[in-house]
Amino acid sequence: MSKGTRNILIIIAVILFLFAVLFAVYGHLHLEPMNANTSKENLIGNANEGLDNMINDIFSEENIIDEPNNTENNQNKVENTTTKNEEDVEPTEDDNRMTPKEKKAIELVQEQWKKAMGNLDSVAFNVSIQNDGKYGVSVYDTTTTQTIQFYIVDVDTGLVKER
């Protein structure tokens, strides 16, 4: 055998050895596709667990904080403003679809609006949830349907910011 033929055979042997090693590693690390009999519950936990917790949190009335109740005067003020708001605002179809937190956000904005403007005549309120979990409440004119003011409400802290 000549020197060139021997070098070619060595190169071919090295290449075959590398392919054998790669094939063995691939066979060891390769994931089998899931067959129809494999239970999905074994792969992941309860996929709806986080969603159930989130829904329970949204519809829970326990998480709503009215105002600090340090004294009896504060409690009386909260009760009085709640009854006034219920008397001033006519219920609509959408009230039945709102979560307690959405209702609380609108109530907080109504209080803010009453302090600034004195009444709730010819205005209505629309609520939406923001990406950060806070609520956006827009105040709009009922005759022209133009937005007058937009507020960002953190229901958990009771903080209302004008935007």
Cα–Cα distance for residue pair 154/135, rounded to 1 Å: 6
* Residue 93, in any domain of the structure: no
- pTM for this one? 0.43
Per-residue pLDDT of 9-37, as tens digits, reads: 999 999 999 999 998 888 877 766 666 66
Residue 141: inside a domain: yes
The answer to whether position 162 is within a domain reads yes
Whether 32 is covered by a domain: the verdict is no
Query: What tokens does 116 get?
Result: 């600034």
pLDDT of res. 139: 93
The first and second tokens of residue 1, run together, are 């055998």
Number of structural domains found in the chain: 1
Q: Is the dihedral of CA 99, 104, 105, 110 positive or negative?
A: positive
106: how many CB neighbours lie within 10 A of its CB? 23
Q: Are 123 and 162 in contact (CB under 8 A)?
A: no
| Full domain range(s) for residue 144 | 99-163
